[in-house]
Amino acid sequence: MSLPPLVEPAEELTRDEVRRYSRHLIIPDVGVMGQKRLKNARVLCVGAGGLGSPALMYLAAAGVGTLGVVDFDTVDESNLQRQVIHGQSDIGRPKAESAADSVREINPYVDVIIHNEALTNDNVFEIFGQYDLIVDGTDNFATRYMVNDACVLLGKPYVWGSIYRFDGQASVFWAEYGPCYRCLYPEPPPPGMVPSCAEGGVLGVLCASIGSIQVTEAIKVLTGVGEPLVGGLIVYDALEMSYRKIKVRKDPNCAICGENPTITGLIDYEEFCGALSTEAADAVVGSTITVKDLDEWIRAEKPIHLVDVREPAEYEIVKIPGSTLIPKGDILSGQALADLPQDRQIVLYCKSGVRSAEALAALKAAGFRDAVHVHGGVSAWVKQIDPSLPAY
Which positions touch Zn ion (CB under 5 A)? 180, 182-183, 254, 257
Q: Are strands 167-173 and 232-237 parallel, antiparallel or unpaired?
A: antiparallel
Biggest distance spanned by C-alpha atoms of the chain: 80
User: How far apart (Å, rounded) are the C-alpha atoms in residues 42 and 376?
Assistant: 39
User: How far apart (Å, rounded) are the C-alpha atoms in residues 216 and 159?
Assistant: 10
DSSP 258: S
Half-sphere exposure (CA, 13 Å, Cβ side) for 32?
7
Instruction: State which residue, 46 or 183, has the beta carbon closest to Zn ion.
Output: 183
350 assigned to active site: yes
Active-site residue, from 180, 207, 254, 350: 350
CB 158 within 8 A of CB 68: no
User: How far apart (Å, rounded) are the C-alpha atoms in residues 380 and 377?
Assistant: 6
CB of 183 to Zn ion, least distance (A): 4
Instruction: State which residue, 249 or 302, has the beta carbon closest to Zn ion.
Output: 249
Instruction: State which residue, 3 or 183, has the beta carbon closest to Zn ion.
Output: 183
197 assigned to active site: yes
User: How far apart (Å, rounded) are the C-alpha atoms in residues 20 and 361?
Assistant: 59
CB of 184 to Zn ion, least distance (A): 8
**C-alpha gyration radius of the chain:** 24
CB of 2 to Zn ion, least distance (A): 22
CB 2 within 8 A of CB 178: no
CB of 218 to Zn ion, least distance (A): 20
Residue whose beta carbon is closest to Zn ion: 254
Backbone angles phi, psi at 280, to 5 degrees: -70, -40
Alpha helices in 63-158 (DSSP H): 95-106, 124-128, 141-154
CA proximity to 17, closest of 143, 110, 146: 110
CB of 266 to Zn ion, least distance (A): 15
CB of 175 to Zn ion, least distance (A): 6
Instruction: State which residue, 21 or 128, has the beta carbon closest to Zn ion.
Output: 128
Instruction: State which residue, 49 or 178, has the beta carbon closest to Zn ion.
Output: 178
Those residues with Cβ within 8 angstroms of residue 140's Cβ, 6 or more apart along the chain or in another chain? 196, 273
Active-site residue, from 45, 151, 197, 273: 197
The string of DSSP letters for 264-280 reads -S---HHHHH-SS-HHH
User: How far apart (Å, rounded) are the C-alpha atoms in residues 102 and 61?
Assistant: 11
Dihedral sign, Cα of residue 77, residue 79, residue 81, residue 86: negative
Instruction: State which residue, 221 or 257, has the beta carbon closest to Zn ion.
Output: 257
Instruction: State which residue, 25 or 134, has the beta carbon closest to Zn ion.
Output: 134
CB of 263 to Zn ion, least distance (A): 10
User: How far apart (Å, rounded) are the C-alpha atoms in residues 42 and 336?
Assistant: 54
Instruction: List 134's β-bridge partners, or say none.
Output: 44, 158
User: How far apart (Å, rounded) are the C-alpha atoms in residues 61 and 216?
Assistant: 12
Q: Catalytic positions, please?
A: 197, 350
